[in-house]
């Protein structure tokens, strides 16, 4: 949003009054005097007028090890949500960047930065996500070939991207996914006659849970991003 439009929207000043403020050097943007009416004000731009701070929102990035039983949502009337695991002072503007089912566990990213979350979740990004998946029946080597070739989903009329997994135990695999369709892993194994009994996300891109325990979270720094 243009600076002059931001100021008229956030104050009761007229457009001419805003222009006079800017010309007088009374507006600080990110701690510097700004006189350009067309200067772009973004989500985390700091704006101060005559000593009064109109906006000083800080970006927040959170990695959470989601336990089972919590919804990947900011609020729900029937079930606990992951927000209950985050201190209230961090709640403003938070949203989930890449959901997990209520029964699923593992790495969940939350942020108030819409640009960052879109970059992580948009299909074109093809960021690799790693999951530890427990199955009802032993998995066969032929399933690996089927996944590498992609599985057709009639509902979306699309075929999944080639997907690789490692067999750890007969009924335990580590799968590497580069897209995120609705219940994709469950649907892929269902298509080959198997069933997922538990699903745990270990990583999203370079973000890894490591020693973060279930129900714990940590704030990500600029270096982590």
Residues 134 and 119 in one domain: no
- Which position among 30, 56, 77, 101 bears the catalytic label? 101
Contact between 114 and 209 under an 8 Å Cβ cutoff? The reply is: no
Q: Provide the pLDDT for residue 156.
A: 87
Q: Give the tens place of pLDDT for each residue, 208-223.
A: 999 999 999 999 987 8
pLDDT band at 181 (very low <50, low <70, confident <90, very high): confident
Q: Which domain holds residue 176?
A: 128-204
Residues 104 and 194 in one domain: no
Q: Provide the pLDDT for residue 180.
A: 83
Specify the pTM.
Answer: 0.84
Residue 124: pLDDT above 90? Answer: no
pLDDT band at 155 (very low <50, low <70, confident <90, very high): confident
Cβ neighbors of 78 (< 8 A, separation 6 or more) are none
Residues 120 and 106 in one domain: yes
Q: Provide the pLDDT for residue 16.
A: 92
Contact between 19 and 34 under an 8 Å Cβ cutoff? The reply is: no
* Arithmetic mean of pLDDT over the chain: 94
Residue 196: pLDDT above 90? Answer: yes
Last residue within a domain, chosen from 39, 55, 71: 55
Residues 88 and 35 in one domain: no
Residues 120 and 62 in one domain: yes
Question: In the chain, how many domains are there?
Answer: 3
Residues 73 and 21 in one domain: no
Residues 17 and 48 in one domain: yes
Q: Which residue has the tokens 């006079």?
A: 20
pLDDT band at 84 (very low <50, low <70, confident <90, very high): very high
Is 166 a residue of the active site? Answer: no
Residue 186: pLDDT above 90? Answer: yes
Residue 162: pLDDT above 90? Answer: yes
Residues 212 and 112 in one domain: yes
Could you tell me the CATH number of the domain that includes residue 64?
3.30.70.580
Could you tell me the CATH number of the domain that includes residue 161?
3.30.70.1560
Residues 12 and 28 in one domain: yes
């Amino acid at each position: 949003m243009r600076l002059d439009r931001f100021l008229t929207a956030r104050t009761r000043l007229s457009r001419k009054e805003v222009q006079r403020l800017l010309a007088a050097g009374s507006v600080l943007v990110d701690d510097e005097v700004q006189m350009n009416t067309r200067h772009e004000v973004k989500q985390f731009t700091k704006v101060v007028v005559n000593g009064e701070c109109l906006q000083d929102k800080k970006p927040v990035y959170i990695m959470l090890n989601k336990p089972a039983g919590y919804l990947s949502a900011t609020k729900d009337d029937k079930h606990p949500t992951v927000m209950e695991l985050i201190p209230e002072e961090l709640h403003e503007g938070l949203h989930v960047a890449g959901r997990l089912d209520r029964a699923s566990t593992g790495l969940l990213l939350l942020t108030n930065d819409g640009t960052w979350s879109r970059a992580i979740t948009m299909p074109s990004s093809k960021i690799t996500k790693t999951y530890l998946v427990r199955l009802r029946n032993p998995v066969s080597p032929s399933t690996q070939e089927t996944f590498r070739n992609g599985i057709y989903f009639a509902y979306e009329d699309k075929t999944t991207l080639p997907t690789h997994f490692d067999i750890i135990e007969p009924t335990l695999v580590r799968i590497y996914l580069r897209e995120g369709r609705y219940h994709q892993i469950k649907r892929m194994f269902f298509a080959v006659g198997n069933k997922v009994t538990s699903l745990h996300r270990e990583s999203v891109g370079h973000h890894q849970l490591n020693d973060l325990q279930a129900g714990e979270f940590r704030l990500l720094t600029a270096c982590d991003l």
